[in-house]
Amino acid sequence: MSGSRDGRAGEDHAGLVEAMNSGVVAVNAAGRITAWNPRARQLLGYTRDEALGRSLDGFLHRAAEDGLPAERHCRLLRTLRSGVPDHADGDPFTHRDGRQVMLSWSSAPIYADDPAAEEPGTGTVAGAVIVLQDVAGRYRIERERHDQMAQVRRANSRLELVAEITTVLSSTLDEDEVLRRLVRLVVPALGDWAEVDLLVPDGRIERAAATHHELSPNDIAALEGPLPPLPRTPRGPLARVLHGGATLIVGGDAARRYPDEPLAAAQHELFQFMDARTAIITPLAARGETYGALTLGHSRPGHGYGPDDRLVVEDIARRTGLVLANARLFAAQRNTAEAMQRSLLTPLPQPDDLQLQARYLPAARVGWVGGDWYDAFPLADGATGLVIGDIVGHDLHAASRMAQVRNMLRALAWHPDASPSTVLARLDAVMDAVSDAELATAVFARTAKTTEGVWRLQWCNAGHPPPLLIGQDGDTTFLDEHGMLLGNPDLTGGRPDGTRDLPPLSTLLLYTDGLIETRGTDLTDSLTGLRRHSAHLARLPLPELCDRLLERMEPNGDDDVAILALRVPG
């Protein structure tokens, strides 16, 4: 080092170096070690006597990487050649006992006292000082922080996945669609493949949905379908879970241990097809009932399911179980409403030479059945009464209210002196007094042959889509006369009666709004489409006309659809 005019100051500097918590190594211009403090010994294991006088190039160097020898010209000595300070944030060094230690270092030149130097810190490089610091602790803290952040990101990712699955599954009450969405959402986030085995209400077991991150849909489709029945005494992993057992984490050969159990054998075939290394099987259960099992698996070695994975999978399964419970509850309600609805849609009469046909399509959406109806019945004066109607609401209560309104309308229409508008006005008053039906739309019509042999139609429309008259030659006319809907006599006012002679072989079409109202489509366009399709189908036999018209109109299933068609004889 450069000399000092004050010996005491030099001693103080030496003492400071000895006490530093950093390793300090000094070398002369030849690269030989001239100073080695106690902390350097702690970091690298060599004593002062072992270090002093040794060439730094062959004594203190960074550890070789990937089996390659250390640099011939050690970077630590670059400062001697360039006179420029250098540093590294972390390098592996070889300890005296052969192990590697991670150290950060910085080197600075030592200049000789040179009278010719124009300013301090310039001139001839007489040596260098190298300061070493242990960074293993800092690296460990950084690794721990990195691991913690990775865990937080993984936890957040899992929470986002659970939230997404909850949102997606809750948006439908179609059981099959729920399970197809489920397996698509959990792969590859939670496994390489997934499948759902469902306990069908009639006691069967079906593999309802499956997916694999590499296999094609056609390959997967072959895996779905009926499975062997649930054994009375479950031994295989799937049977135990379906019998109300807890979640199981198993290896790829777990089901092979029960070859005499058909359900376990079927599961083993699936595991082989999926190349399963490990799997987790968890029940889809809610409100004390097990609806099926979700199986997730890894096909790649080195992957498994830990406690955190189990918690996430079980949470997803519980949420799916609740969706399945709700889907079956609403399906039962829908089936009851539909059965009630169909029981009220009585067989149609075929008076004289008139032809009558009707069709009813329940809403595809679970719980949205009920309210639409059609009816046809003979009247006291020999005419035929025709009704199409829609009660506000879509549930079992709507179907019940529809039955009330239908029966009241039949009774009120029986009087031979009652015009269609009079019948609907009386129905308004009765609904308000004795029925809990709130609002309804309807068309009531009566048709009879006049003394001149012409079929004449009288009708009244209470807020319902207009009937369509279809001529044999394809001419179409909407019968637009209409008044206010039913359910509030104070607001309805008068409703006009319409009268129209029906040409031979013409068709009268009554329908509910489910046939023409589609979300995102203009109603005028839908009515135009109804006219166009009806014109093309005008000459078809009446049953075929009804079927083909439903095919062409393509109702979206958001609402019930009822149609009533009358064909006039030639």
Q: What is the pLDDT of residues 384-400, one digit of tens each?
A: 999 999 987 666 677 77
Q: Is the dihedral of CA 385, 388, 391, 393 positive or negative?
A: positive
Going by the DSSP 8-state scheme, the letter that residue 256 receives in this structure is G
Give CA–CA dist 171/431, Å, rounded.
36
Tokens of 423: 């019948």
Superfamily of structural domain 7-134: PAS domain (3.30.450.20)
**Beta strands, E only, 328-473:** 355-361, 372-378, 384-391, 440-449, 455-462, 468-470
Between 556 and 117, the higher pLDDT residue: 556
pLDDT tens, 186-235? Answer: 999 899 999 999 998 888 999 999 999 988 888 888 889 999 999 989 99
Give CA–CA dist 194/209, Å, rounded.
8
Q: Which amino acid is at 265?
A: A
Going from the C-alpha of 251 to that of each of 50, 187, 301, 418, the distances in angstroms are: 57, 19, 11, 78
Are 7-134 and 148-333 the same fold in CATH? yes
CATH of the domain spanning 148-333, picked from 3.40.50.1000, 3.20.20.70, 3.30.450.20, 3.30.450.40: 3.30.450.40
Between 273 and 367, the higher pLDDT residue: 273
Domain residue spans of the chain? 7-134, 148-333, 345-567
Tokens of 177: 């669609």
pLDDT tens, 120-166? Answer: 556 789 999 999 998 887 777 778 888 778 777 776 777 777 778 87
CATH architecture, domain 345-567: 4-Layer Sandwich (3.60)
Is the pLDDT at 61 greater than 70? The verdict is no
Give CA–CA dist 508/461, Å, rounded.
14
Going from the C-alpha of 562 to that of each of 479, 513, 546, the distances in angstroms are: 18, 8, 11
pLDDT band of 8, cuts 50, 70, 90:
very low
Pairing status of strand 100-111 against strand 125-134:
antiparallel
pTM above 0.85, yes or no: no
The pLDDT of residue 396:
62
Buried b (16+ CB within 10 A) or exposed e, 268-301: bebbebbebbbbbbbbbbbeeebbbbbbbbbbee
Give CA–CA dist 283/286, Å, rounded.
9
Give CA–CA dist 482/443, Å, rounded.
9
Average pLDDT of the residues of the chain: 85
pLDDT tens, 256-279? Answer: 889 899 999 999 999 999 999 999
Is the pLDDT at 518 greater than 80? The verdict is no
Cis peptide before 349 (omega within 30 of 0): no
